Amino acid sequence: MIPIDGKLLAQEMKQEITATVASLLDKGKNAPHLAVVIAGDDGASLTYVESIKKNTKEVGMLCSAYQFSASISEKELLEAIDFINNDDEIDGCIVQLPLPKHIDKQKVVQKINPKKDVDCFHPENMGKLVLGEECFLPATPHAVMELLKRYEIETIGKNCVVVGRSNIVGKPLALLLVQNSPYADATVTICHSKTQNLKEVCAQADVLLVAIGKPEFITADYVKKDAVVIDVGIHRIEDKTSEKGYKICGDVKFDEVSKKCKAITPVPGGVGSVTMTCLLKNTLKAVISD
């Protein structure tokens, strides 16, 4: 079994990004600038924003966090995004989800300038993704594709099964895998909660990509011998044997599946490690393609 090391890949990608940012600065250009919009005090969202700040600083980028209370009106939030759209010194913009319940997520997402939409949530960018045109790639599916590419995992003509159909991971990942391009060109099946004989469908996969959102749902009997398994999920579950009282795990039961498959991404240390780096890569792309 080959462990697919997301931490190592993220370090390599960060070095590449850092070198490109340094080259831009040497040419007298501004450092790439990412704006993060957050409304409310969701703990996971705040932690993620702090991580963005840390990672942008590490590669020489700028990050501005626009943090608002949960009581901000929809109108005020849309005006804030308008301000970011019109600021020529800001290259990329992401809106951290979830938003307060009284705010229409789609209105907010569609307000972002597509040229600054480094999360690839805007319908224009999603449409380009469907058509196979040049666009920003959603960070998590992008991370998966980077792992497949850099670990030289064969997908051309292979049976790839995606478990999960979310707009953030499952659907765009399936679209990327089916594109006529290197490290894609796969025969793709999308599974979800209504899929009949899910276990049997998964067991046919040469590459099984799991984003179902259920901790350790995929066990060894879902996996074909010598398949490649990409685990997108991440969960914190109770573990009384641990000093912390919990453990971090994915959607795949790693101890079981790792004994049967050819290669697998661990959790933590797999896809999640690369996701942040892909957000940085998109921010850099916003500058270079401008």
Q: Which CATH superfamily is domain 30-114 in?
A: Leucine Dehydrogenase, chain A, domain 1 (3.40.50.10860)
Question: What's the pLDDT band for 2 if we cut at 50, 70, 90?
Answer: confident
Is the predicted pLDDT of residue 168 greater than 70, yes or no?
yes
Tokens 């942008």 correspond to 56
Counting residues of the chain whose pLDDT is more than 70, the rounded percentage is 100
Closest among 77, 211, 60, 244 to 144, alpha carbons compared: 211
- Phi, psi of 267, rounded to the nearest 5 degrees: -135, 120
pLDDT at 115: 96
Residues spanned by CATH 3.40.50.10860 within the chain? Answer: 30-114
CB 187 within 8 A of CB 160: yes
- The residue-averaged pLDDT of 256-284 equals 96
Residues whose CB falls within 8 Å of the CB of residue 244, separated by 6 or more in sequence, listed in order = none
CB 168 within 8 A of CB 138: yes
Residues spanned by CATH 3.40.50.720 within the chain? Answer: 139-272
| Range from 113-122, 159-168, 195-204, 234-243 carrying the lowest mean pLDDT | 234-243
Two tokens at 289? 């393609």
pLDDT at 246: 86
Pick the CATH number of 139-272 from 3.40.50.2000, 3.40.50.720, 3.30.70.330, 2.30.30.40: 3.40.50.720
Counting residues of the chain whose pLDDT is more than 90, the rounded percentage is 89
Closest among 140, 48, 59, 150 to 97, alpha carbons compared: 48
Is the predicted pLDDT of residue 106 greater than 70, yes or no?
yes
pLDDT tens track for 6-42:
999 999 999 999 999 999 999 999 999 999 999 998 8
Tokens 């992008």 correspond to 142
pLDDT at 290: 62
Two tokens at 130? 């469907």
